[in-house]
A and B are shown apart, each in its own frame.
Chain A
Amino acid sequence: MNSLKKVATLLTVTAMASTLVACGPGASSSNANANTETVSKDLGDEKIELKLWDGAGLKAMDDALIKAFEAKYPNITVKATYDPDNVSAQNGPRVISASETPDVARITDMGSAVRGKHVVDLEEYAKLYDWNIPDSQTVNYRLTDSGELGSGDLYAVPDGFTMTGIFWNKKIAKQLGITEAPKTVAEFEADLQKAKDAGVQPMMASSKDAGIIHLIDGLIINENGVDAVRAWTQQRDGATIDTDGTAKAAQYIADWASKGYFPDGVNALDSSTALARFTKGEGLFFPAGNWYTSSVSEALGEDAGFIAVPPKTEGEGAGGALDGATPFGIPTNAKHKNAAAAFLNFLTTDEARQIAIDNGYAPLGEGEAKSDDPVMQSVLDTYAAFIKGGNTATHISNSTAGIQANALIPAIQELVDGSLKPADFGAEIQAKYADELGK
């Protein structure tokens, strides 16, 4: 009891002390080191060491980009550091707000980065270099003066795009008598049932982590319409995901689970296990994202393809999540802002576009995109359809920093095991979303 008393005293004393001092943690002077460099294309010929920070999963692509960039600017060397992918989102806000920041950094949470004034407004550079990037590709990186996502000034340039969809095993499909990819969600369900009847695993999936979220991503856009989902992912006032459309999307997942389309024990399966099993030939479909393209291609080659989550009616633009592989921004405390901007400008060149494609990502900007890899080509075709249809929003798991771990993963697990009613799915997510954003 003595120790409890001590703790209580400590609590009260600290509470009193902090009210007296009236000084909360987190001083707002973290931008003290921000230097003001006149915006310019001219990088001189002095040696510059540009520091870059990204997630480890993107090292291969970044290495290729850096090599090509350094060849163009001989006086610049880029020193890259990487954090493991599962912690880069947590470290991101600290990396860009430190007094010693990288010059070019992955911006993990756009909203807080801009609102905290931790990143540079890129509008002046956009004008200087005359960047011509389609709106659909920068919409997630624009913020208004009031800190609202979706329009306003540009704060990051992505190096390529990730998107969600479904890999399918054409060889298994052929054995089942399925000759082409499903064009509607009804056809998709028919194919799943065919596989089930033939004793083939209809879908390889995982819900211990984000796996099935990549499937419901597309379903939610198809059922709600892209505008509603965009408003929600952009954290607009009044936007909600607690809708009939979301309930329908959730109903699909619940039905597919109860019909046994997902593998046994899917709630204990993680993405890497699911990928391993799919690439070994288990499962007709595998909902995921194009970040697995090279793994799938290596294992299955021509036998695999990538499609969007099929829409309700044929010909309707399919919905899916589309997001930058790495949205690169320039931290406010960066030492070499002009050189950093030159790197961002390099991302818009054809050379950088090809590097993105070669690494399995959809390229920035418009224009022809071709690959020798058949799986990658199907990814690029899906991407072209996405851009044409315009039914893409950022991953729902990226709508807030905590939504994936805190709301989506548990809710989908409960949907799959039947403990959450599909009608309550939207409300569950919305409540956590509102709570996290303080709405």
Chain B
Amino acid sequence: MAERSSAHQQSAPAASSIDGKLAANKRKEQIKRAIRGYLFILPALLFYVMFELWPIIQTVWYSFYNWNGIDASTWVGFGNYIRVFTDSELFSSIGHAFYLIIFFSIIPVGLGLIIAALIKDVKSQMGKGFAQVCLFLPRVIPGAAAAVAWTWMLADNGTVNQMLKAVHLGGFAHTWLGDQSTALNAVGVIGCWLQLGFCIVLLLSGIGAIDQSLYEAASLDGAGWWRQLFAITIPGLRGQISVCFTMTIVAALASFDVVFMSTQGGPGTSTMVPGVQVYRLAFQQSRVGLASALAVVLMVMVLLVVGPLQRLIEGKKEA
């Protein structure tokens, strides 16, 4: 092997040296290009490392300590993690976050699909635009502000109860956020309202890209509205639906603003979610280590849910 290669080199020294030069030039050019490329991403990369990666690493680091955020800390190993999984209050807050997926994800995506399909059929451009703006509006309002507004509407003598009374359903009137049995659902409704607009706009943009002739062909074959929804619209929107689910599930699991502004986790601990709990532990109780551990668990949870979901939908696409 060694002999043959040396023989080859000797047989055509001139050619190989030119080849070598060319190759070296090419490589140089490639390296230059690569450096130029990296230079372009450098500013963004720096910010990403400084404000995303480094804090994540720090959080993981803190999670192994018992630390009040200021003074000296003590190493506790996996103690904080054990606490997260054995403390019923911390653990139940994780359960609440998963429950909120129903309101933050499943309902908005389902409802969003139907509404988007309906808007698609609206003939007047103005009507279409108007409906889109109206439905997207909640998305423009910050979650915290929306939560405050909803708190008023869901109050004892708020709009919701007044409307119930107006249609003679006063018996159902309720202090929605003040009762342990309804508070989490009421918080969910606020989240649903916030996420719905986002889903509709995204799904509508996807519908626009579906070939209209498919619908024409389907209706010629006698397919009804529902049939078209399931046979054309939903399969055509796989990518958008995937994005919708990813974004809204992350919003549900990492929810903070809506819960913090509307109930602070109460009454009792009936609406406590990990986001609020992390804030409380770190900044009110000065238990930065335990808060960091819960934050890391939350991050892993989000990845655990969103990762397989992505794969599921992407996988189907290939098949």
Interface residues of A (CB under 8 A from B): 1-4, 7, 10-11, 14-15, 18-19, 22, 24-28, 30, 89-90, 93-94, 97, 109, 112, 115-116, 118, 207-209, 263-269, 400-402, 405-406, 409-411, 413-414, 416-417, 419-420, 436
Contacts and interface: CB of A to CB of B under 8 A. Distances in A.
Nearest to B306: A3
A93 B263 CA distance: 26
A348 B90 CA distance: 46
Interface string B154-196: 1110000000000000000001111110000000000000000
Nearest to A436: B285
21 contacts: A7-B300, A11-B60, A22-B75, A25-B61, A25-B73, A30-B70, A89-B284, A94-B70, A207-B267, A208-B263, A263-B156, A268-B155, A268-B178, A269-B178, A402-B284, A402-B285, A405-B264, A405-B280, A410-B265, A410-B266, A414-B180
B267 A26 contact: no
B269 interface: yes
Nearest to A273: B155
B266 A26 contact: no
Closest 7 CB pairs of A and B: A265-B175, A268-B178, A402-B285, A24-B73, A265-B156, A267-B178, A413-B267
Given A7-B303, A26-B73, A97-B70, A267 B265 contact: no
Nearest to A26: B73
A419 B268 contact: yes
Nearest to A414: B268
Contacts of A10: 56-57, 60
Contacts of A112: 68, 70-71, 286
Contact of B284 (A116, A263, A405): A405
A151 B305 CA distance: 54
A412 to B, nearest CB: 9
Given A208-B263, A402-B285, A436-B285, A417 B180 contact: yes
A3 B154 CA distance: 40
Given A208-B263, A406-B280, A116 B74 contact: no
B284 A401 contact: yes
Contacts of B264: 208-209, 405, 409
B198 interface: no
B283 interface: yes
A419 to B, nearest CB: 6
Interface in B22-70: 56-58, 60-62, 64-65, 67-70
A402 B286 CA distance: 8
B307 interface: yes
A11 B60 CA distance: 6
Contacts of A405: 264, 280, 284
Contacts of A28: 71-72
Given A112-B286, A267-B266, A417-B180, 4 more contacts: A24-B73, A97-B71, A264-B175, A269-B178
Interface residues of B, number: 51
B156 A264 contact: yes
Nearest to A402: B285
Interface string B69-100: 11111110110000000000000000000000
Contacts of A115: 71
Nearest to A263: B156
Contact of B307 (A4, A30, A93, A406): A4
B70 A26 contact: yes
By DSSP majority rule, is chain A's interface helix, strand, loop, or mixed?
helix
A93 B69 contact: yes
A209 B151 CA distance: 14
Contacts of A420: 268
B285 A406 contact: yes
Contacts of A90: 283-284
Contacts of B266: 208, 267, 409-410, 413
Contact of B74 (A1, A24, A97, A208): A24
Contacts of B267: 207, 267-268, 410, 413-414, 416-417
Nearest to B288: A25
B304 interface: yes
Contacts of B231: none
Given A14-B60, A268-B177, A406 B72 contact: no
Contacts of B131: none
A30 B73 CA distance: 13
A26 B72 contact: yes
Contact of B67 (A26, A264, A416, A436): A26
B284 A25 contact: no
B122 interface: no
A24 B178 contact: no
B299 interface: yes
A265 B284 contact: no
B251 interface: no
A4 B155 CA distance: 42
Contacts of B111: none
B71 A410 contact: no
B296 interface: yes
Contacts of B151: 268
Interface in B279-294: 280-281, 283-288
Given A112-B71, A208-B266, A401-B286, A265 B178 contact: yes
Contacts of A19: 75
B67 A267 contact: no
A375 to B, nearest CB: 28
Nearest to A17: B61
A3 B304 CA distance: 8
Given A4-B300, A267-B175, A268-B177, A94 B69 contact: yes
